[in-house]
Amino acid sequence: MKPYVLLVEDEEALATLLEYNFQKEGFETSIAIDGEDALLQAEERTPDLIMLDWMLPKLSGVEVCRRLRRRKSTAKTPIIMLSARGDETDRVTGLDYGADDYMVKPFSMTELFARTRALLRRVSPTLLQDIIKLGDIEVDTKALRVKRADNAIHLGPTEFRLLDHLIRNPGRVFSREQLLDAVWGRDIYVEARTVDVHIGRLRKALKMPDRKDPIRTVRSAGYAFEAVND
């Protein structure tokens, strides 16, 4: 659904400012106040983007960056480093250790988002796309609309998020637990079988004569979205 950015910044004022602006741009956000916190949070939920301050308590930004790169889950996650110092040495060091871009404080939010967009467009374009199309199915994430073969389809919020998640990872099989985490949220407890019911509702909503079911059931594993006819 929304791209998730981890903001690693110990200065509270800047962290809040970043949070506010990223949320306005449609990101989900989380703040880490030091390097250790950052590593923990990144492990718990893999971010789609990391904003990483250079100067941090406990672990330096560079060190955090190196460790993030060593982990499989975050090896390719886009990282933008923030630094008060702007000299070339720092820039080079930051980029050497695996940051994708570099901003010198103070910076304009406009420029930050221009760069963010550029970076995400390069690395994971589906995150920025408003309209995701697969086969004859179309999901418009800005307008929150779904179409199949140009027919508008009405979905409830949960079915929408479910479809959104599945269609962004076509072919991949998700267990019920994974779907609960991704669609319902980590801290919400509902029966795993509830997923079945929503999958059923989604299937029913997407059903059209002469078109095959885009959702595949993988017995004793979960569900997956399949590219479809057309």
Partner DNA sequence: TATAATTGTAATAAAGCTGTCACAAATTCA
Partner DNA sequence: TGAATTTGTGACAGCTTTATTACAATTATA
For residues 60 and 57, give the distance between their C-alpha atoms in angstroms, rounded to a whole number. 7
Select from 20, 45, 85, 191 the one that contacts a second copy (CB under 8 A).
20
Among 17, 55, 95, 123, binds a second copy (CB under 8 A): 17
The token pair at 152 is 């508008």
Q: CA geometry: angle at 60 spanning 46 and 55, to 5°?
A: 105
- CA–CA dist 54, 64 (Å, integer): 9
| Measured CA distances, 214 to 99, 126, 142, 175, 186 (Å) | 38, 19, 22, 17, 26
Q: Which one, 95 or 224, has the nearer CB to DNA?
A: 224
Residues 29/7, Cβ–Cβ less than 8 Å = yes
Distance of alpha carbon 229 from alpha carbon 208, whole angstroms: 12
Position 118 contacts a second copy (CB under 8 A): yes
State the binding partner of 115 from a second copy, DNA, none, CB within 5 to 8 A by kind: a second copy
- Measured distance CA(227)–CA(212) in Å, rounded: 10
Query: Hey, is 228 helix, strand or coil?
Result: coil
Q: What is the CA radius of gyration of the chain?
A: 20
Say whether residue 122 binds a second copy (CB under 8 A): no
Match 């569900």 to its residue by tokens.
223
* Nearer CB in complex with DNA: 137/155: 155
For residues 196-215, which are near DNA according to CB under 7 A? 196-201, 203-204
Binding residues for DNA restricted to 135-194, rule: CB under 7 A: 154, 156-159, 184, 188-191, 193-194
Among a second copy, DNA, none, the one that 159 touches (CB under a kind-dependent 5 to 8 A) is DNA
Which tokens is 159 given? 């079915």
Q: What gap in Å lies between CA 28 and CA 46, rounded to an integer?
A: 12
**For residues 8 and 112, which CB has a smaller minimum distance to a second copy in the complex?**
112
Q: 72 touches which of a second copy, DNA, none (CB within 5 to 8 A by kind)?
A: none
Q: Which does 75 bind (CB under 5 to 8 A by kind): a second copy, DNA, none?
A: none
Closer Cβ to a second copy, 68 or 179, answer by number: 179
The site for a second copy (CB under 8 A) is made up of 12-13, 16-17, 19-21, 24, 109-111, 113-115, 117-118, 140, 142-145, 156-157, 171-173, 178, 181, 218-221, 224
